[in-house]
Structure 1
């Protein structure tokens, strides 16, 4: 079905963006900030915790409203978050 194929493709794109961001942010904290492995993990903890909160919430929203609205909102929110990383530099506060 076209609706399922579109939803699956958007899900793949969201996951690629998220895991790519985790990889890039790990390198950022290690090389630009000089964090050790533990500090890098702690710095990334809010991102992982948000994913744990968002997964069941998105399931409920999808059951109530269908996949189009939650996925559109997730794409827009993710784009804003990923664009925020463009401003990060060595002197950017945590």
Structure 2
């Protein structure tokens, strides 16, 4: 069973993700939604662990489709960034 941060309980309208954008588990808008609104990408929690993943946005319970590093959950201060030069970075504030 997955639970999502309160900010993820409300769907946000689609917007382009621009270079230099980032999301954080601690942010109010801690996810990016696909243009169709069918999928979202961001931080989710399960069994008191934090994961970066993709889930079905419009299906009740928002089931996960994909999870990065399931065996190595993310720390609570983590961020994901699409850098200005197009790289995708995962950052841990503790490091």
TM-score by length of 2: 0.24
* Structure with higher helix content: 1
More strand as a share of residues: 2
Report the TM-score when normalising by structure 1: 0.24
